[in-house]
Amino acid sequence: MSRLKGKRALVTGGTSGIGLEAARQFLAEGASVAITGSNPQTLEAARAALGGDVVAIQADAGDVAQQHKVAAAVREAFGGLDVLFVNAGIGDFRPVEAWDEAGFDRSVAVNVKGPYFLIQALLPLFAKPASIVLNTSINAHIGMPNSSVYALTKAALISLARTLSGELIARGIRVNAVSPGPIATPLHGKIGMTDADIAGLVGQIPAGRRGDVSEIARAVVFFASDESAFTVGSELVIDGGMSTL
């Protein structure tokens, strides 16, 4: 396939899960790819797994100053940018009474503030046309306990997909969002979910399973490609029917 032939793409949080698979599919579709990650070891492992031509940029997704570093690295590597997949994020799930200001601020910084200022830093580099894809979540639509802060950050990204579309379309930049349901990634283990917890989660999904990272990445490729040239400010929910219940 060559739907992204000649395009230059940046995937934030490209070291594992959906981000790594999206980078892999971008490469398969002919794109030149850069990825970001905060951990130098996992970043190098991802670069090696994807191939030597991938540009690996170490950066903290929640640090505004480092978003300018990412933009400078993209400029040096590619000279410009056709596709941005904003995928880096954290999932911190706690009951309301367990939150403190530091944790709240960290979730907002990584999931909203960093991405916002990355887009700002990249504006001079975007080609015309270009595509931005935001990785959000069905948690923005459902009342899942313990997800209040995570859900509000993802709702903010869905809002940005609409408002930035209105603002940036004149520059030829389309902004769209994917909203995954539960996906089989390392996230569920990182937040302490047991096999029983995951089984209970799967029981809430009409499709009877968690999604695969490739199913999300294929949607991202569609939004990144010229096939979606008339798709602007849209959100694609990919959740096995979970949010319909």
Across the chain, how many H-helices and E-strands are there?
A: 9, 7
Specify the DSSP class assigned to residue 80: S
CA distance linking residue 157 with residue 118, whole number of Å? 13
Structure tokens at 129: 């046309």
Nearest to 14 by CA among 31, 1, 201, 68: 31
Query: How many other CB atoms are found less than 10 A from the CB of residue 203?
Result: 8
* Neighbouring residues of 76: CB distance < 8 A, sequence distance ≥ 6: none
Instruction: Give SS3 for 194.
Output: coil
234: number of CA atoms within 13 Å, CB side?
15
Q: Which of 181, 194, 187, 178 minimizes the C-alpha distance to 245?
A: 181
Q: Are 121 and 71 in contact (CB under 8 A)?
A: yes
116 is catalytic: no
Query: Angle CA(39)–CA(178)–CA(155) in degrees, nearest 5?
Result: 85
Measure the CA–CA gap between 198 and 176, rounded to whole angstroms: 29
Q: Among residues 78, 117, 150, 223, which one is catalytic?
A: 150
Known catalytic residues are 150
